[in-house]
């Protein structure tokens, strides 16, 4: 199976926080998942921890390489830029990642994240959805200590909602 492509500065183990969630489900494909994931306006329909997505520079409604967008999650207003975007190709998974940030650069409240997704079709009509996030800054230190872990739980809700929405769309 494939792995996330991590840019310098966001490699897991060298940041203040890291979380990883994955599901493998039968009966769905990358083609079922991808449109729901790359359209931020759809996120609140299946993930209640996302709100108020909007694009900059007359872009959207879908994510694309380099596009700037905004959304709110985990109580943070997140400015973001897509750092990797690749639709599925023969033998290669679909990938989308964004650098998100909240707070003034250099301040104690600054949070920088790299949120990455990998979706790949597997044998026997299965799909694998992997989401991982690294976080830097004081807020990331606090999130890493929280029990239960809000990032692990929140991202699992995102995965579960994404799968449920894709199944519902197939009906």
The rounded distance, in Å, linking the Cα atoms of 152 and 54 is 25
**b (16+ CB within 10 A) / e for 86-104:** eebeeeebbbbbbbbbbbe
Model confidence at 76, pLDDT cuts 50, 70, 90, reads confident
Does position 45 have pLDDT exceeding 90, yes or no? yes
Mean pLDDT score across all residues of the chain: 96
Q: pLDDT per residue over 26-39, tens digit each?
A: 999 999 999 999 99
Torsion of CA 2, 116, 93, 122, to 10 degrees: 70
Model confidence at 19, pLDDT cuts 50, 70, 90, reads very high
**Mean pLDDT score, 30-53:** 97
Q: pLDDT per residue over 136-147, tens digit each?
A: 999 999 999 999
Predicted pLDDT of residue 1: 77
The rounded distance, in Å, linking the Cα atoms of 151 and 148 is 9
Phi-psi region of 89 (alpha: psi -120 to 50; beta: other; left: phi over 0): beta
* Total residues belonging to the chain: 171
Does position 93 have pLDDT exceeding 80, yes or no? yes
Predicted pLDDT of residue 75: 74
- What share of the chain has pLDDT > 90, as a percent? 94
In a 3-state reduction of DSSP, which class is residue 162?
Answer: helix
């Amino acid at each position: 199976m494939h792995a996330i492509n991590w840019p310098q500065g966001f490699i897991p183990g060298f940041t203040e926080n890291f979380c990883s969630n994955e599901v493998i489900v039968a009966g769905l494909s990358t083609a079922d998942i991808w449109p729901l994931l790359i359209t931020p306006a759809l996120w609140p329909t299946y993930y209640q921890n996302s709100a108020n997505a909007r694009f900059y520079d007359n872009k959207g409604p879908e994510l694309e390489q380099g596009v700037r967008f905004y959304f709110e999650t985990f109580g943070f207003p997140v400015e973001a830029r897509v750092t990797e975007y690749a639709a599925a190709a023969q033998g290669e998974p679909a990938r989308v990642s964004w650098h998100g940030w909240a707070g003034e650069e250099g301040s104690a409240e600054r949070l920088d994240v790299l949120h990455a997704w990998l979706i790949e079709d597997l044998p026997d009509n299965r799909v694998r959805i992997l989401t991982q996030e690294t976080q830097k800054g004081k807020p990331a230190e606090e999130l890493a200590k929280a029990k239960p872990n809000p990032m692990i739980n929140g991202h699992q809700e995102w995965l579960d909602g994404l799968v449920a929405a894709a199944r519902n769309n197939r009906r």
